[in-house]
């Protein structure tokens, strides 16, 4: 579905929808690359506007594709008629100016737009463009009487342009699917009356009424007892996700069953989906080293081949006895056609763009194509334990409190203090104890990083955290924490050890699959955690991870990653908590678990896994490897074929037909190879 473009008073295009926004961003990026290297543009051919008053384009996709091919079809028909007359009726009226005029008519539909672009580029100071190369080569062919070849070169070039445009549209399709997930309007309840407003005008606290089949426009809290949602656009998972009352639901989710009510908790611009859209829109601006090299290469390469073509035509005049200008000009023209860098300049960014699209289809967001390159060469995946390889959903297993203290009173104080934290452990304690006692007053609350919480209650100091917190405040205890294979929450009150809670976390369903896949890719795995060492060892042994470290503070994690990087290993760190942000930033590639992960970690990360499934780590690496493989296949193909045919052309052994294959044929093969990644399955 397309919309009329709108413009401001300065002529700048305005975007009405998310789809238009990503189209504009992607097109600008691709056109910028083409302009910088003097290559072909990816605009669709301009045609009459068939939109009606509602701004929607009702022309079908097939009709649009036919219009794109129409100039080439007209040119092909005229060319075939001319060739028939040339070969079977040479002595008829089809000769002289009539013959030239017929071939010119065949040339105009496909050649005029290119010649026009070449002229306009020259006026702008962009002399050495592909448009100029093709214009010189085909007009030169007409000048020496090679009319059919002149038309054929431009015809195949035009067909290649259409296929390239279709390939770019396909590459954008997966990303556009993601960006089109947030509706522009929502229905809110105002005085128990349904009212439709723009999503951006909705306020925190408003109640959204979501009918069956509707998409949620903003993040919120589910008020209905339960509801099932399709989260495929956000996570790549087709299986419905059932949410219970009080749970968070995100913009872009589709309500599957009954009418549901959602209380808005996040502003439109701050929703998870808004941040995802911004990440994707910015992704194309982060260039891989291969892309940057090709862009620089093409800007130097094009002027050089124009100079070489001139030398091929002129230099033989000094050395060849029976020099025939038309023969050497023909060789120079063949050389020009072969030398067009389109196969490289288009297929390489298209390959990376396709990789980003394939990743987003699988619920993985790359913030730039450079990270596709880096992740393909990752040697060591370093991961956090809680929330990454485990569910991060803790449950209190056992409560051990010294009989000298009142168990219920201590638990109520701990519950009140832990209400100051958003850590999963705090949630587990709250779920276990229940309602918070509002009569308990906290003073001087302090969070001690990597240790726990401290506060004054009833004039006495309460400490709740790990046993390092007890050591820090010289609290004596009579147990050995290393003997207990659970997460321990130690409690001290009035400078005395009160007891502890044991809390357990379950390993994620696909954690074992993750490790197996990474081993199959010959990637090392290392687990780092702030949890106690024996818990980390228990989880690591169960998963088959040989390198693991527990009892780590945030700065300890940073130091461990620095040690690995010092061994010249490329490191990918995967985490979800606020304290993971520094080490995510330090690693070669930082991956954040985007479903439950903290905003700080997601903002810092280079790659975001939207559904919190660790198995997507291996998927991300696979996509990076396949993207890099396809890009280098295209580079090798283009250089090999062009190199061979360039030599043959300069030696007079290649005709315009071989030149067409070396340019348009290789470009088409490279483009088809580049979009292949979007059809690949990365689930295995």
CB atoms within 10 A of CB 681: 7
Neighbour-count burial for 271-304, b at 16+ CB within 10 Å, e otherwise: bbbbbbbebbbebbebbbebbeebbeebeebbee
Instruction: Kindly give the residue spans of alpha helices, DSSP state H, lying in 38-188.
Output: 61-88, 96-123, 130-143, 147-179
| Beta strand ranges found along 576-679 (DSSP E) | 589-593, 607-609
Distance CA 420, CA 126 (A): 62
Mapped onto helix, strand or coil, the DSSP state of residue 319 is helix
Contacts of 499 (CB under 8 A, 6+ apart): 399, 400, 401, 402, 405, 410, 491
From the number of C-beta atoms within 10 Å of its C-beta (0-12, 13-18, 19+), residue 213 rates as exposed
Strand order in the sheet with 220-222: 193-198, 185-190, 207-210, 260-264, 220-222, 248-249
Q: Are 215 and 183 in contact (CB under 8 A)?
A: yes
CB atoms within 10 A of CB 471: 13
- Beta partners for 228? 242
Q: Are 549 and 528 in contact (CB under 8 A)?
A: yes
Contacts of 614 (CB under 8 A, 6+ apart): 383, 388, 389, 508, 510, 511, 514, 574, 593
Mapped onto helix, strand or coil, the DSSP state of residue 60 is coil
DSSP category for residue 564: H
Q: Which of 206, 373, 384, 612 is catalytic?
A: 384
Does the annotation mark 384 as catalytic? yes
Cα–Cα nearest to 601, from 392, 376, 430, 362: 392
CA 247 to chain centre: 28
Distance CA 557, CA 527 (A): 10
Q: Are 237 and 231 in contact (CB under 8 A)?
A: yes
Q: Are 635 and 349 in contact (CB under 8 A)?
A: no
Residue in the block written with tokens 């989260």:
231
Q: Are 57 and 3 in contact (CB under 8 A)?
A: yes
Distance CA 41, CA 39 (A): 7
Contacts of 39 (CB under 8 A, 6+ apart): 33, 129, 130, 298, 341, 342, 345, 346
Q: Annotated active-site positions, please? A: 384
């Amino acid at each position: 579905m397309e919309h009329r473009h709108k413009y401001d008073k300065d002529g700048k295009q305005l975007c009405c929808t998310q789809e238009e926004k990503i189209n504009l961003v992607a097109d600008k990026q691709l056109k910028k690359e083409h302009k910088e290297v003097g290559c072909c543009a990816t605009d669709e051919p301009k045609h009459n506007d068939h939109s009606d008053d509602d701004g929607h384009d009702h022309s079908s996709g097939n009709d649009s594709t036919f219009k794109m091919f129409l100039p080439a079809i007209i040119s092909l028909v005229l060319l075939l008629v001319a060739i028939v007359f040339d070969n079977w009726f040479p002595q008829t009226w089809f000769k002289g100016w009539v013959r030239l005029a017929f071939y010119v008519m065949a040339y105009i539909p496909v050649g005029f737009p290119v010649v026009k672009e070449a002229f306009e580029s020259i006026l702008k100071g962009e002399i050495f463009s592909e448009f100029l190369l093709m214009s010189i080569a085909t007009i030169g062919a007409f000048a020496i009487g090679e009319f059919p070849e002149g038309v054929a070169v431009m015809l195949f070039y035009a067909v290649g342009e259409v296929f390239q445009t279709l390939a770019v549209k396909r590459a954008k399709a997966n990303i556009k699917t993601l960006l089109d997930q947030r509706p522009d309007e929502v229905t809110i309840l105002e005085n128990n009356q349904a009212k439709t407003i723009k999503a951006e005008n909705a306020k925190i606290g408003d109640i959204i009424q979501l009918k069956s089949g509707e998409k949620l426009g903003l993040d919120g809290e589910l008020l209905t007892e339960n509801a099932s949602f399709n989260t495929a656009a956000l996570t790549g998972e087709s299986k419905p996700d059932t949410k219970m009352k009080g749970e968070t639901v995100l913009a872009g989710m589709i309500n599957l069953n009954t009418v549901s009510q959602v209380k808005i908790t996040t502003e439109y611009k701050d929703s998870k989906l808004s941040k995802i859209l911004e990440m994707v829109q910015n992704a194309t601006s982060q260039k891989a080293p291969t892309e940057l090299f090709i862009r620089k290469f093409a800007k130097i390469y094009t002027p050089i081949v124009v100079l070489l073509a001139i030398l091929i035509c002129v230099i033989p005049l000094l050395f060849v006895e029976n020099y025939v200008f038309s023969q050497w000009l023909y060789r120079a023209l063949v050389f020009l056609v072969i030398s067009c860098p389109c196969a490289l300049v288009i297929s390489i960014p298209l390959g990376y763009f396709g990789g980003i699209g394939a990743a987003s289809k699988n619920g993985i967001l790359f913030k730039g194509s450079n990270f596709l390159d880096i992740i393909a060469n990752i040697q060591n995946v370093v991961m956090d334990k809680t929330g990454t390889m485990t569910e991060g959903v803790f449950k209190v297993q056992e409560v051990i409190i010294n009989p000298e203290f009142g168990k219920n009173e201590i638990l109520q104080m701990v519950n009140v203090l832990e209400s100051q934290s958003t850590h999963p452990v705090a949630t587990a304690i709250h779920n276990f104890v229940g309602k918070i006692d509002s009569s308990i007053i906290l003073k001087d609350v302090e969070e001690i990083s990597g240790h726990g919480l401290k506060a004054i209650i009833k004039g006495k100091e309460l400490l709740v955290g790990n046993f390092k917190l007890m050591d820090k405040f010289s609290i004596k205890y009579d147990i050995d924490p290393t003997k207990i294979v659970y997460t321990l929450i130690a409690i001290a009150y009035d400078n005395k050890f009160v007891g502890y809670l044991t809390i357990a976390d379950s390993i994620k369903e696909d954690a074992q699959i993750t490790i197996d896949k990474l081993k199959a890719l010959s990637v090392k795995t290392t687990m780092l955690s702030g949890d106690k060492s024996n818990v980390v060892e228990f989880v690591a042994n169960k998963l088959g991870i040989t390198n693991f470290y527990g009892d780590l503070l945030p700065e300890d994690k940073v130091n461990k990653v620095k040690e690995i990087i010092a061994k010249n290993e490329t490191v990918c760190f995967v985490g979800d908590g606020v304290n993971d942000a520094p080490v995510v930033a330090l690693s070669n590639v930082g991956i954040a678990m985007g479903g439950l992960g903290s905003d700080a970690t997601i903002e810092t990360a280079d790659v975001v896994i939207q559904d919190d499934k660790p198995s997507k780590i291996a998927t991300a690496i696979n996509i990076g490897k396949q993207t890099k493989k396809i890009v280098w296949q295209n580079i090798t193909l283009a250089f090999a074929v062009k190199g061979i045919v360039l030599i043959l052309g300069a030696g007079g052994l290649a005709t315009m037909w071989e030149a067409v294959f070396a340019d348009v044929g290789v470009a088409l093969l490279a483009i088809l190879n580049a979009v292949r990644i979007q059809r690949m399955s990365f689930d295995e």
